[in-house]
């Protein structure tokens, strides 16, 4: 059983950067789970956020 502060997943904002030079910052996020780790890119497109997995490994 887990206490209220214990989680199996973790998200961390690594960078806010204008990757594609369109004047809008993208968000590079790391996500970790007890079975793996992933790097994701959050982009603002057509009025909503989209997420792309850049790299990762896990079950």
Does 3 have pLDDT greater than 70? no
Q: What pLDDT score does 4 carry?
A: 63
Does 59 have pLDDT greater than 70? yes
The CA-based angle 15-6-43, given to 5 degrees, is 25
Sign of the CA dihedral with 51 first, then 15, 55, and 4 last: negative
CB 15 within 8 A of CB 28: yes
Residue 57's Cβ-count burial label (10 Å; 0-12, 13-18, 19+) is: exposed
How large is the average pLDDT for residues 29-47? 90
Q: Which of 42, 40, 24, 44 is nearest to 32 (CA)?
A: 40
pTM of the model: 0.70
Does 1 have pLDDT greater than 70? no
How large is the average pLDDT for residues 1-16? 78
């Amino acid at each position: 059983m887990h206490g209220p502060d214990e989680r199996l997943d973790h998200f961390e904002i690594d960078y806010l950067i204008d990757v594609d030079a369109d004047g809008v910052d993208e968000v590079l996020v790391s996500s970790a789970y007890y079975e793996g780790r992933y790097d994701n890119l959050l982009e603002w497109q057509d009025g909503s956020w989209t997420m792309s997995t850049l790299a990762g490994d896990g079950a």
